[in-house]
Structures are given as C-alpha cells and as structure tokens.
Homo-oligomer: A and B are copies of this chain.
Amino acid sequence: MANPLTSDVLVDPVVLTRALVDIESVSLDEKVIADCVEEVLRQAPHLSVDRHQNTVMARTGLGREQRVVLAGHLDTVPLNDNFPSTVVDDLIYGCGTADMKSGVALALHLAATLPDPRYDLTFLFYEAEEIESRFNGLNLVAKHRPEWLAADFAVLLEPTYGVVEAGCQGTMRAVVRTRGRRAHTARAWRGVNAIHAAGAVLRRLEDYRARTVTIDGCTYREGLSAVRISGGVAGNVVPDVCSVEVNLRFAPDRTPEQALAHLHEVFDGLDLEVTDSAPGALPGLDAAPARDFLAAVGAEPAAKLGWTDVSRFAALGIPALNYGPGDPQLAHAPDEHVEIGKIRDGAATLHRWLAAY
C-alpha cells in the first residue's frame, strides 16, 4: 500500500484527519497506521524518531528550555458500520473521527510542518488506549522507554470539543460484601439474609453527599455509585452472601490511599475490598508552558471528570491536560463525527501557542 499520508495531506489537518480515519486501526491492529506515521515522521529532518511495538515517538532537539509532549492514541474501538469516513456538510463521520484521529491529525500536522517550535516537542502516537491497561502504549513506554516521557508539560489530544480539560479525577472500585447464614425460605428465621443486610449498604449510598472541589479554577464533582449488585443461591434459599460493587470518582486532591480511607469511612463496619483503582491528576496549570497554552486558547479550563491517560503523566510528575477537537459525548458512538471547524480552530490554537518563538 502506498502511504496515504503524503505531504499534500500533511499540510491540511482536515484532510489528514480523513486520511487517518481511513486507515483501519482497531486496538491491537495498529501496525499499518503506525508504519505510515513512522515513515512520514522519519522524512522530517528536524525530528529524531523511535518506535516501541506500534507506538511511534518523534522529537525535536533544539535545546529549548522547556519540553512539551503532544500525545494521541492511534487505535479506535471496533468499527460499527462507520468505516471509511464520509463527509456531510461541516462534519466528518467515521470510527475514530472524534476519539481521536482528529487530535492525532493536529499533532502529526504540527510535527510535519513546524520545524522551529517555541519549546522542544515530543510527539507520541501510541497504541491500544481503548483496551486493557496492560496493552496501553503509553503505559508500555513508561515502563520500557521512560526517557521518551521527559517533559515539562503534556497535552493529550483526546476529544474535549475545544475546551481545555485539566487534570482528571481518580477512580476506585470496591466490593462491599454482606454475609448471612443460609436456610430454607420455608424456615427463613433460621437463617440470616445477606441481601436484606445489603440494605445498609444501599442506604449509605443513597445518603452519600458527594464533594465538589475547585482546584486551579477547575471544579471537580465527585461521585459514589453502585455499579453492580449480586446475591442469591436458589429460589428457596435464604442467601448467605451479597456483593455490592461501588465506583468512587474522586477529585485529584485525594490520593488513592485517601480515597480508600474515605471508602472505609463511608462503609464503616462493613467488609470492603478494593478491586481496581487509578489515581487522579492535579490540573497543574502553573507551569509556564501551561500558562502560555491557556493564553493561546483564551478560555477558562474545565475539570476533566473521567479518567484519561493524563493521569499517567501526572504520575511521572508532568502536568498534563486534555485538549482536542472531538466531542467526548460522541466517542464510541456509531454516529461518531467531528466538526471540520473544530479541527481548524484546534490547529490554529496550537500553532499560535507553539510557533511564537
């Protein structure tokens, strides 16, 4: 296959978005798109390029005081009758248009066309963000090529619909178990019903008042939700176990340890087991490149409520935020699309920020 990412395509982030969307790259099938991206990056004399599996890194070495990472994942969720792309008026439809090939296009366009940026730049085009963490390209880079991530600031081009979403909330899942004693339901009083006992768990969830926390002007709204409940042995048996799985979304002023202590407080006296956890990320908007970036965008940042790879940078001490042209509500939707105007706006903003040297 001839590489569709020709120099004519690279100069226009809208055309480039379509070209990227039209290279199928469902998670774990990113070889072709990574090959195409690597090839065009190697043609740019101002970049040094390296690769780990299907994650491609390119960076300048201009001796600037500050280094900024621009990162985006190359994979998409499975196709859903939305491949290849189509255009209707101002909208490009197709799998990955919003999440996040329009963002990848912005980074790749900059990499190819801005040889003399204000900061040294590191571009990361990574694999397998949409699936389990152990496949995640950024995760693998942190493990096997940590030197690629050295930077003062990072922008993840995930869909935010042109808004700066700073930091991200942490997430913790835990199972709260109630126990009882089995008995035949015809002699229910001989048993202890674990499902009835779970009423106490649900009551605490109903009564829970979530915190709202403002950090660096970003407002994080926490939440504690039951996401699964199960219990029962047979239609004539008083059940001896009931499990309620809860998901706490916590503002980035809490560490996972503090979040766990909070859960233990909420479910005091109950058996609680953490099954899954990821730290949040503070917005970190006082680094100089971050302040410059916000000035270039010219709008207030908002809190990122979901969990994103931003948190992986935060874990390395690198302030990071999300900024991309796609609408996050459309991610993974069959009618996923991106507005051409948003791509142009994004490209102009990044250019304004990075070309000002």
- The chain A residues found within 8 Å of chain B, CB to CB, are 169, 171, 173, 184-189, 193, 195-196, 198-199, 202-203, 205-206, 210, 221, 223-239, 242, 244-245, 247, 249, 276, 305-307
Minimum CB–CB distance for A103 against chain B, Å: 19
Question: A186-B249, A186-B307, A188-B249 are known contacts. Are A199 and B193 too (CB-CB below 8 A)?
Answer: no
Closest residue on chain B to residue A183 by CB atoms: B225
Partner among B187, B232, B245, B305 whose Cβ is within 8 Å of the Cβ of A235 = B245
A233 — which chain B residues lie within 8 A by C-beta?
Answer: 227
Question: A198-B202, A199-B205 are known contacts. Are A235 and B221 too (CB-CB below 8 A)?
Answer: no
Minimum CB–CB distance for A190 against chain B, Å: 10
Minimum CB–CB distance for A199 against chain B, Å: 3
Contact between chains at A229 and B226 (CB < 8 Å):
no
Contact between chains at B223 and A227 (CB < 8 Å):
no
Question: A199-B202, A202-B195, A244-B195 are known contacts. Are A227 and B234 too (CB-CB below 8 A)?
Answer: yes
Contact between chains at A229 and B307 (CB < 8 Å):
no
Closest residue on chain B to residue A208 by CB atoms: B196
Question: A235-B173, A235-B247 are known contacts. Are A185 and B229 too (CB-CB below 8 A)?
Answer: no
Give the docked Cα–Cα distance between A230 and B229 (Å). Answer: 5
Give the docked Cα–Cα distance between A229 and B242 (Å). Answer: 8
A245 — which chain B residues lie within 8 A by C-beta?
Answer: 232, 235
Closest residue on chain B to residue A275 by CB atoms: B235
A184 — which chain B residues lie within 8 A by C-beta?
Answer: 306
Give the docked Cα–Cα distance between A303 and B221 (Å). Answer: 57
Question: A227-B233, A229-B231 are known contacts. Are A305 and B239 too (CB-CB below 8 A)?
Answer: no
Chain copies in complex: 2
Give the docked Cα–Cα distance between A307 and B186 (Å). Answer: 8
Contact between chains at A185 and B232 (CB < 8 Å):
no
Question: A202-B202, A205-B199, A230-B230 are known contacts. Are A186 and B235 too (CB-CB below 8 A)?
Answer: no
Give the docked Cα–Cα distance between A238 and B229 (Å). Answer: 12
Contact between chains at A205 and B193 (CB < 8 Å):
yes
Give the docked Cα–Cα distance between A237 and B226 (Å). Answer: 9
A221 — which chain B residues lie within 8 A by C-beta?
Answer: 187, 189
Question: A227-B232, A227-B234, A229-B232 are known contacts. Are A199 and B188 too (CB-CB below 8 A)?
Answer: no
Minimum CB–CB distance for A59 against chain B, Å: 32
Partner among B226, B229, B239 whose Cβ is within 8 Å of the Cβ of A227 = B239
Closest residue on chain B to residue A234 by CB atoms: B227
A230 — which chain B residues lie within 8 A by C-beta?
Answer: 229-230, 232
Minimum CB–CB distance for A225 against chain B, Å: 5
Contact between chains at B227 and A236 (CB < 8 Å):
yes
Question: A186-B223, A188-B249, A230-B229 are known contacts. Are A235 and B276 too (CB-CB below 8 A)?
Answer: yes
Minimum CB–CB distance for A263 against chain B, Å: 14
